[in-house]
Amino acid sequence: MDGLFDPDALRGKRYIAYARCASKQGSTQSLRRQLRLIRQFGDRFKMRCVDESRHPGLNGHTPLLRWDLCVLLARKCNQDDYDVLVMEDPARLTRADGSGRLEALFMCSGVQIVYVATWQAGGTVRHSRNGYSRTMLPAPAVRRERATRIRKVAK
């Protein structure tokens, strides 16, 4: 739920850096890259990282409320040690329809979900899968890296 693009709204907030990769093959590099982007984002907005949540080989097509998300919600309810869940893009949350419901569930628990790609695109992100009017525009470096991976797979 990253609709507010006011940098001061994030300043000083506690966050968990969330990285997920569906495939275990090559996941180390993917998770490292995601976490690096998230950390840079957090540093840029003077946020405080309280933890990292890494999930190699975790499919985004699995049921909407996966075990990893349940753990994060329970942590918020029991420890209340973070305010924001930061991830690279909406596909890290889920690839299934209904990601808006997940975002709403986290918001009801007091957690704001922020997508780095949304902020890099200046807030103009369309995520057609869940009906939000945002345009998914990853950073140029991310687009280049994805294009390189696609070319390697195609060979």
7-60 pLDDT, tens digit per residue, is: 788 999 999 999 999 888 878 999 999 999 999 999 999 999 999 999 998 877
Confirm whether 15 is domain-assigned: yes
CA atoms of 104 and 64, how far apart (whole Å): 13
Confirm whether 70 is domain-assigned: yes
Confirm whether 2 is domain-assigned: no
Q: CATH number, domain at 11? A: 3.40.50.1390
**pLDDT value at 142 more than 90:** no
Confirm whether 137 is domain-assigned: yes
**pLDDT value at 113 more than 90:** yes
The values of phi and psi at residue 8, to 5°, are -70, -25
Which one has a higher pLDDT value, 136 or 100?
100
Pair 76, 110: CB distance under 8 Å:
yes
**pLDDT value at 130 more than 50:** no
Which one has a higher pLDDT value, 102 or 18?
18
CA atoms within 13 A on the CB side of 24: 1
- Element (DSSP H or E) covering residue 10: helix 7-10
- pLDDT, tens digit, 9 for 90 and up, residues 71-85: 999 999 999 999 999
Confirm whether 12 is domain-assigned: yes
Predicted pLDDT of residue 3: 45
pTM for the predicted model, two decimal places: 0.74
Confirm whether 68 is domain-assigned: yes
Confirm whether 1 is domain-assigned: no
**pLDDT value at 153 more than 80:** no
Q: For the chain, what is the domain count? A: 1
**pLDDT value at 86 more than 70:** yes
Domain that holds residue 39: 7-154
Residue 48, both tokens: 């405080």
